[in-house]
Chain A
Amino acid sequence: MEGWDPSTKSSLTQIPLLSTRAGPRDGAQWTQRLKEEYRSLIAYTSMNKSNDNDWFRISAANPEGTRWTGSCWYVHNLRRYEFQLQFDIPVTYPATAPEIELPQLDGKTHKMYRGGKICLTVHFKPLWAKNCPRFGIAHALCLGLAPWLAAEVPVLVDSGMIKHKDDEASSAAAES
């Protein structure tokens, strides 16, 4: 687990681990898995809140719980940059990690696959494989998206690839 920053590591250890190995096609097993996913997400969210470190909102977009949508944000130079967030649970889940997409940033950075799927670090994939089926959505967010945001957003902001919505409004106003 080396290579992760200490705060990430501490929060990761506090996220409850999952136990059911089941994918979206496993029926009741999947429901069981989904419950565990919710529990771990609740724990992670409440933890983030108590640490004053709340950074995302997600919810299941379909009743089966195979597609999730929401938003995430990052504070840089006292400005909050917010992005839309979406991902599907793959059928091979939990052996395969979900591919988290940030559609707004598609094409703005090369650390991203087509369709806005973020390019996860080399550390993430083996770790996930090793901890299958104990890792769930909460872990993917914590270990995948959070570090990516912390690494990419400041670069994108500084390079001017993304602009704060206030700036966009002002620039639009200025353009208009």
Chain B
Amino acid sequence: MDAELLELQQQFESAQQAKSSVRLSERNVVELVHKLQELHFLDSDILHTVTGKEYITRDHLRHEIEAEIRKSGRVSLIDLSDAVGVDLYHVESQAQAVVVGDPGLAIVNGEIISDSYWDSAAEEIDEKLQECSQIALAELAAQLRVGSELVVSVVEPRLGKIIKGRLEGGQLYTPAYVSRICAMVRGAARGITVPTNLATVWNSLQQLLQDTDGANGVSVEGAFFQSQFNGLVKEGEVLGSLRAGVQWTPAVFAHAQRASVDSFFSQNSYISYDVLQKLAIPQPKQYLQSRYPEGIALDGVFVHPSMVEMLDAAIEDAIEHGNWIDSLSVLPTYVGPQDVSKILSLCPSVQREIKAAKAIVMGESCIFSNSYVKAMFDRVEKDMDTLSLSSLASQGQPIDLCSAHESKGRPAAASFSEMKEISDEGGSRKFVSEKSSKKKRGKSAKSGPTEDDTDNYESLPTKVKKNQRKSKDTNSLDASDMKSGSKKGLDKTKEDSLNIISEEWIAQRILALAPDLGDLGVEPEDPHALIRHLSNHLRPMLLDSWKKKRNTVLLENSERRRRLLDNLQKQLDEAVLDIQLYEKALDLFEDDPATSVILHKHLLKTMATPVVDKLISTLVIDNKLKNGVEVGENESPETASLSSADRISLSKSLPGSLSVKAQAVLDALEGKVVDTFMIALRAMTEESGLLLKKLDKKLERTLLHSYRKDLTAQVSSETDAVALLPKIVALLYLQFYNKALQAPGRAISAAASRLKNKLPDSTYKVLMDYHAATVTLLALQSAATGDEEDCTSDRILSKKEFLESKMPELKGLVLTSRSS
């Protein structure tokens, strides 16, 4: 048996002998304690833990609380109640008691916090602040899990002691950081030369900070920049003005602004608001008015009074010299139309001249002196003459006019010449038939072209008018019955011509006369506005004068028509009477048809043709006058000698029924019977309102008498042997038949033979001999026109001599027979 085993045996023995501990159940214990309390063996205020397994006295609880606080300096009541295991209610009441008993403690939001805790927290904050140079209070509050207000209340008293920094807008900064930011702000503010919104500057600074500090860079609030900036401004480290708290205008910018405005304004004596807008001056008008009180503020520009003076002088000059001026050309381009009128209203001379009716303002900016307008009016009026007349000439063809004035934008000279050409063309087209007829007549045709050359752009109708004026004394007929008709025509044409003098036309004329006007449009989209204004101004006056002129022309025309028709009537009377007279003589030859035909033809050719020519051409002129056309005065109707083709064309130009009648007359003229011609002629004259006188006995006698006298005088003075014979024959007819005979050479023998039984034989013989000699002479003459050496010339000479020897005999025959 070893000792150890024995030992163990004894140990086991003693273990078995040891008294076993007695155990009470919890319930029993609780009841026991309760019993003890009932029996007042214990203090009444015994607390128990939340688990209910422990009893605790208040003093102990307080001790425990104090111990907990001492641990960290800050304890939440809820945590405390967990840690102590006592109901929150008791913990709170005891904590209250603890805090009241210790001034270094405070209950904040259910937490007990000691001053020492704050001190240590402040130290931590300071440490962190020195590290980061900037901390947001909100961040701190979140970190400490307290309200930011509390943080502020804690941090503020410790600033400068524990925390070496500065509190600004909810942020803590170290002085070094503050000075750095300050330096940045100063640099930025000094670098700014144009007005800037500070917020954008702060943003860029923030960006810069973040870039330099890297990802862990602290963010700086704009407010901090702003406060630094405000400080700098207050200290005068940066110069400028702050508007609305954010808009910073540096002093250097304001200075530059002012300098540039000053220099521009002093150099140009005007400045546009646009320029100021570009210089970022928000209210240019007020700015300028406050800076330059003497200046004049217009709608778009600000001008110095000297500008007005200059304009005034220019206008005065223009008015004095009877010219015009566009104020816009004098003023700078910035000056708009509405401003121009304003400036003009400020010009003393303009006001004075307008008041004195010496100048007219047109198109807002242009000033015309009255003398200039007057000159323009005169010239346009002159042009208008050509227009009005040519327009009358070309009634129903206004296209010609339009084309004539189409030459708008050409240079003046070119447009002049072209216009002249065109109008000449138009004119000549209209007068082509007339002209050709004139040439045939050969008299006045020359004057037309020459005048055309000399007269520059007084185009054709004008000279026609002149011509007509010359001819007015030659043509005159009573035309009182035609007046009413011409009046009607006048009214009608007046209406037309009112339209013809349109604004466009006037504008074109003005443009042609003064092309410089066209270049200066007031409104760029309408370069001819100025001209339009001017033409508007001129038009009423032009219309007035045109009407006046037109009336005089029409009056003149009617006067001339009257005279023309008078004249025509007179001539017609004479001629027709003559024809009738001669016609009677033709009755003698009715038994001899061959001779009769010859005689008829001769009569129609010699007597009727001039009558018809005269009638037709006069009627044509009359017709033109009636329509208001100026007719050349050199177209003297008595000179007319027309071919049959001319006659037909002229007669066709006559109005309707008259034309038909005229053609009938012409047909009759080509015929062989005088009677039919007379009938046709009568019809035509009736149609044209003229009278044909009938031949009565008395009139016939006087006519015959005068004819005979005339013839006798002719015979007695006649020296040409050949020409004597018809006259002798005519005189003999007059003596024996008392009829006036017009006989061509071919009919002489027939006519002479008819006198056989009337004359004494000797006389008859003499006549017949003479006749035979004349015939042979004429035959010889007609055959001899080739060779001089022929003996015919000798024979002609001898025949002539024979005839001439016979002449006195023949003359004596006639003259004696008449006297007997």
Residues of A within 8 A of B (CB): 31, 34-35, 38-39, 41-42, 45-46, 48-54, 57-60, 63
Q: Is A46 a contact of B18 with CB atoms below 8 Å?
A: yes
Task: Give how many B residues have a beta carbon under 8 Å from the other chain's beta carbons.
Answer: 17
Contact between A52 and B18 (Cβ–Cβ < 8 Å)?
no
- CB–CB B21/A52 < 8 A: yes
Residue B2 contacts which of A31, A48, A50, A59 (CB distance < 8 angstroms)?
A31
12 chain-A/chain-B pairs, Cβ below 8 angstroms: A31-B5, A34-B5, A35-B8, A42-B12, A46-B18, A49-B15, A49-B18, A49-B21, A51-B23, A53-B20, A54-B20, A57-B16
Please tell me if the beta carbons of B4 and A42 are within 8 angstroms of each other in the complex.
no
Residues on B lying within 8 angstroms of A by beta carbon are: 1-2, 4-5, 8-9, 11-13, 15-16, 18-23
* A60 CA / B12 CA spacing, docked (Å): 11
Q: Which residue of A lies closest to B11 (CB)?
A: A42
CB distance from B261 to the nearest CB of A (A): 104
Residues B11 and A38 in contact, CB atoms below 8 Å apart: yes
Which chain B residue shows the least CB distance to A44? B15
Chain A residues whose CB sits within 8 angstroms of the CB of B1 once the complex forms: 63
Nearest-CB residue, chain B, relative to A28 = B2
Q: For the complex, would chain A's binding face be called helix, strand, loop or mixed by DSSP majority?
A: helix
B9–chain A nearest beta-carbon distance, Å: 6
Task: Report how far A51 CA is from B22 CA in the complex, Å.
Answer: 8
- The 4 A-B residue pairs whose C-beta atoms are closest, nearest first, are A38-B8, A49-B20, A52-B23, A54-B20
Partner of A45, one of B2, B12, B22: B12
Question: In whole angstroms, how far apart are the Cα atoms of A31 and B5 in the complex?
Answer: 8
A51 to B23, CA, bound (A): 7
Query: Once the chains are docked, how many angstroms separate the CA of A46 from the CA of B16?
Result: 8
* With contact pairs A50-B21, A52-B22 given, residues A60 and B9 touching in the complex (Cβ less than 8 Å): yes
Contact yes or no, A42 B8, CB < 8 A: yes
Q: How far is the CA of A34 from the CA of B4 in the complex (A)?
A: 10
Contacts of B13 in A (CB 8 A): 59
Which chain B residues lie closer than 8 Å to A58 at the CB level? 16
B4 and A35 contacting across the interface, CB-CB below 8 Å: yes
Q: Beyond A31-B2, A35-B5, A63-B1, is A41–B20 a contact (Cβ under 8 Å)? A: no
User: What is the minimal beta-carbon distance from A106 to any residue of chain B, in angstroms?
Assistant: 25
- A51 and B20 CA atoms in complex are apart in Å by 8
A52 contacts B11, CB within 8 Å? no
Cα distance, A31 to B1, chains bound together (Å): 8
Instruction: Give bound CA distance, A52 to B20, whole Å.
Output: 6
B22 CB contacts on chain A under 8 angstroms: 52
Give CA–CA (A2, B8) in the complex, Å.
Answer: 33
Q: Which residues of A contact B11 (CB under 8 A)?
A: 38, 42
Which A residues lie within 8 Å of B2 (CB)? Answer: 31
Q: Which residues of B contact A39 (CB under 8 A)?
A: 8
Distance (whole angstroms) from the CB of A10 to the closest CB of chain B? 15
Q: Kindly list chain B residues whose C-beta atoms are within 8 Å of the C-beta of A50.
A: 20-21
Beyond A31-B5, A49-B18, A58-B16, 18 additional pairs, beta carbon < 8 A: A31-B2, A35-B4, A38-B5, A38-B9, A38-B12, A42-B8, A42-B15, A45-B16, A48-B20, A49-B19, A50-B20, A50-B21, A52-B20, A52-B22, A52-B23, A54-B20, A59-B9, A59-B12
A45–B15 CB distance below 8 A? yes
- For residue B18, which residues in chain A have a CB less than 8 angstroms away from its CB? 46, 49
Nearest Cβ on chain B to A18's Cβ, whole angstroms: 13
Cβ–Cβ < 8 Å partners of A34 in chain B: 5
The minimal Cβ–Cβ distance linking A109 to chain B, given in whole angstroms, is 27
Q: Which residues of B contact A35 (CB under 8 A)?
A: 4-5, 8
What chain A residues lie within 8 Å of B9 (beta carbons)? 38, 59-60
Residue of B nearest to A55 (CB): B20
Residue pair A41, B12 in contact (C-beta under 8 Å): yes
Docked complex Cα distance between A45 and B21 (Å): 12
Highest count of chain A CB atoms <10 Å: which of B5, B11, B21, B23: B5
CA–CA, A35 and B12, complex, Å = 11
* Shortest beta-carbon distance from B652 to chain A in Å: 153
Residues of A with C-beta under 8 A to B5 = 31, 34-35, 38
B residues less than 8 Å from A51 (CB atoms): 21, 23
Please measure, in the bound complex, the distance between the C-alpha atom of A49 and the C-alpha atom of B15, giving whole angstroms.
Answer: 9
Q: Within 8 Å CB of B20, what residues of A?
A: 48-50, 52-54
Give the chain B neighbours of A60 by CB distance below 8 A.
Answer: 9
Most chain B beta-carbon contacts within 10 A, residue among A38, A41, A59: A38
Q: How far is the CB of A96 from chain B (nearest CB, A)?
A: 23
Q: Which residue of A lies closest to B18 (CB)?
A: A49
Q: Max chain A CB contacts within 10 Å: which of B11, B13, B20?
A: B20
Residues of B within 8 A of A53 (CB): 20
Give the distance in Å from the alpha carbon of A42 to the alpha carbon of B20 in the complex: 13
The closest CB in chain A to the CB of B8 belongs to: A38
